[in-house]
Amino acid sequence: MHADFQTILNWRLLAGSHPFPGPDGGTCINEAAIVAAGLPYKAIRSSADCPPCFSRPIAAYALGLNDAMPDEARPQLIAFVLRLSGSADRPAVEAARTHRLALESIRQILAPLCSRAGMDEHAEACAGAPDLPLALAAARSAEWQGGALAQEAARARRWRDGALQSAVARTATAAQRAAEDARCAAEIAEGAAPFVPDTWARACAILDRALTIGRQAPAIDLPDARARLDAARGRVPA
């Protein structure tokens, strides 16, 4: 690993927006990307707050993961700090990114959650969906079945089963919204993570693949990024 990347790895990502980076970093993923790119610093509360050069669906998904991940998992997002600024593309590409985030989240995250809940047919339908419309149809079916099973479990006082099946229903609901709102794709990961151990790694892999669609962020000189991050740590807020 390049020595200059160590500073980026040591930047502390936190949930929520932050008006000023602290001595350990202390920002969300998009705010860290702003610092690394040398752009004017600002607190990011939603993807709409990001500079225009940031892909809106990518920023929304990254922010959703940032806020949902536990502290021990969030450093996985550091790998994307230098890939966000300059990633914005034309509307058709941004729509394709949103659809990819939704499709892969249904295939890679909702499917194993369904399997964990004993909903094997729904898991197979989600994992094997060849396109987004069929994936959304599979999610709708999983939502209905998960809700029905959760009610049945509650009546039988099978609380553990009910919690898992309720998570399927909630997560499948988010999956249906994800085709229009990339942050909802992050909610799929948030719903599955308590039950599927490798969810956050899967979510980061999905982010990585979505970033390969369309315009790639221009290369940021690593020593320059390190200098900016170091300088931000040393600043004193007004």
Segments of the chain scoring below 70 in pLDDT = 1-9, 23-24, 234-238
Q: CA-CA distance, 59 to 64, in Å (whole number)?
A: 8
Sequence-distant (≥ 6) Cβ neighbours of residue 199 within 8 angstroms: 109, 189, 192, 193
**One-letter amino acid for residue 27 of the chain:** T
Q: Are 229 and 12 in contact (CB under 8 A)?
A: no
Q: What is the pLDDT of residue 15?
A: 87
Per-residue confidence (pLDDT) for residue 4, from 0 to 100: 54
d(CA 17, CA 123) in angstroms, rounded, equals 35
Vertex 36 angle, CA 32 and 37, to 5° = 120
Helix, strand or coil for residue 12?
Answer: strand
Residue 194 backbone phi and psi in degrees, to 5:
-65, -15
Encoded tokens for 86: 């300059």
Amino acid sitting at position 102: A
pLDDT at 27: 85
Token pair of 26 as six digits = 């202390």
To the nearest 10°, report the CA torsion of 34, 218, 72, 230: -50
